[in-house]
Chain A
């Protein structure tokens, strides 16, 4: 059981989430940045730390301490994605790498130490490799077992390499706080019992710890005592499916680019099909001549065929420029599979696919004619204004999560208008004698509506009307605040309208036709 703990190297890139976010959004890592997860600071840059921002702080407190801080949402997938090239590059220098988390890698020390001629030399080789990829401030720790090695890497402040001599790991970790190996509850309990460091924890009798804290406690105890059972389990490098194409000279026409990419798209899908995989989500990355970078994920309701991949590339390019030309010529195009699934889960039924599959093919055809946003499905979202309530999602994209059926005070009653104008029509609503109906500060109308006309049409008498029904939105936000009054009227033809009065005048929001 107490087999010799293998010497382990841990490579640690400090503040990896910050670095990943900066790379994705082209920010300067030198400025104060905080990544937020569920309202708390998850990671912060060195500049923010200097201002007193620490992990676990509330967002408001962080902004108070560092008013300049750039606040971004933490995205775990982004971390992993940006780290992937680093892992691949390190695997070329030292084989058999285990990914602890994005930003930290573990590997066995014996092989590299022998190959490079010593642990120091191996660490130096690793650091050179990582520095070539533009990762600043990476550190290496070497000790007995992954836990001690990681602590060695974190403790190495003077030089980028921290080496703990064989057999000295237990002594090295002894003064560290006990919270490193236990969860918050156990830590609090241990602190109350007077156990504050890993060394003190390790001195407790093993059997007693197991009895009191269970298997998790025993595991933590082993770690604290330097008897860790964990070994480096090297990952099997996943096959590389991403494709990349460089254009020399850069291409500035969408059709040219789509044509040039066709062969590679075939290869992209074929490579996955060869190992019985299908791709249901891709990411298209474009780099243009001016240094611009565009990256977007595309989902597919079924799975991608080569033509679908080319379509997605075209749509992304169309979003970037005019109908046929581009704002700036494209030098590099990269397509990465994001969601991969076994073909077995997507096998067609014995008698062919269901009717929905035919619908999908038909709609995809229309989409390739009109563009991605040309074919939409609709869901009903939350909101008071009618245009907010209908959410149109391009075919193939996932609908946004539906807001709960909140009451939305001020929204319309059950009868909804059949025509909701995409652009509100300007109208005129007048009282007797041609006075425009207005609403005073108390929310009362200044004249009884008598005459109604749509955008310069012939005025017609109003048969029935009701209102004003006030809608007040976002009064706390000066920029988006909205205060309007709604009316229902029936015109002389028996057609009913939903009218809106705002600061600019009268509008028709919808028609009950």
Chain B
């Protein structure tokens, strides 16, 4: 850990290290009051930290467009506008069948290099914005945008990497039902969605969902999965927040290791 901090190391590397440490510190702090909940499909209650999406937060959604659509569907059905930036392959028909209202869906398929400006402009007026970033986002840009999201009460879903996101969802396993070797057709899919809180710390959860189920909806499949060993030792709270304070010893161990 001390190696990058020696005087011999070049300045950019040191700066990066400082940024990384700052990100870790902010990740461990639960600095904000509870923001308003955004209507979310009940299937995600056990997945998302806090049970729902929240206004002014950034959620990383990795590896699945269906998962992204599932998160957008409930806000859209409740009358919110939805914007999708930088996903030229976004399947409109699937979106509509999963419950996203097309009259309130705006697509910006090719924002090019201006995607961050476009997202900022859209976040001013549209409460749910999904984006696939092009290239790396610097923590400074990310925090500027976060401030804007908090002020406007918009939620950003990121299909990719984002420094300092409030939660992170990903697909661990995926198994399709209905298709056999040579016959049948795709009917439903059972996936394991893993979730992590702010900066990869905090509460972790894995749960088994049907994405989609046979009636083109979303549902919880079976009982909750056992949590990974390390996280089970965390103190549990009645009201979990976005980023729960982690015992210092635990953090020390993880930061160095």
Contacts and interface: CB of A to CB of B under 8 A. Distances in A.
A392 B109 CA distance: 10
A278 interface: no
Contacts of B88: 422
B97 to A, nearest CB: 5
Contacts of A374: 108, 110-111
Max chain B C-beta neighbours (<10 A), residue from A366, A418, A422, A511: A418
Contacts of B229: none
Contacts, number: 149
Size class of the contact patch on chain A: 35 or more
Contacts of A495: 174
Contacts of A370: 108, 110-112, 114, 118
B93 interface: yes
B181 A464 contact: yes
Interface in A366-405: 366, 369-370, 374-380, 386, 389-390, 392, 395
Size class of the contact patch on chain B: 35 or more
Nearest to A362: B125
B106 interface: yes
Contacts of B180: 464, 466
Interface string B136-160: 0000000000000000000000000
A377 B107 contact: yes
Interface in B58-88: 63-66, 68-69, 81, 88
B102 interface: yes
Max chain A C-beta neighbours (<10 A), residue from B68, B124, B179, B180: B179
B123 to A, nearest CB: 9
Contacts of A378: 92, 95, 102, 105, 107
Interface stretch (B42-50, B183-191, B199-207): B183-191
Interface stretch (A205-213, A290-298, A486-494): A486-494
A464 B174 CA distance: 13
A419 interface: yes
Contact of B122 (A362, A380, A389): A362
A418 B66 contact: yes
Given A358-B125, A359-B126, A379-B102, A465 B174 contact: no
Contacts of A359: 81, 106, 125-126
Interface stretch (A12-20, A60-68, A79-87, A409-417): A409-417
Nearest to B174: A494
Contacts of B184: 464, 466
A465 B181 CA distance: 5
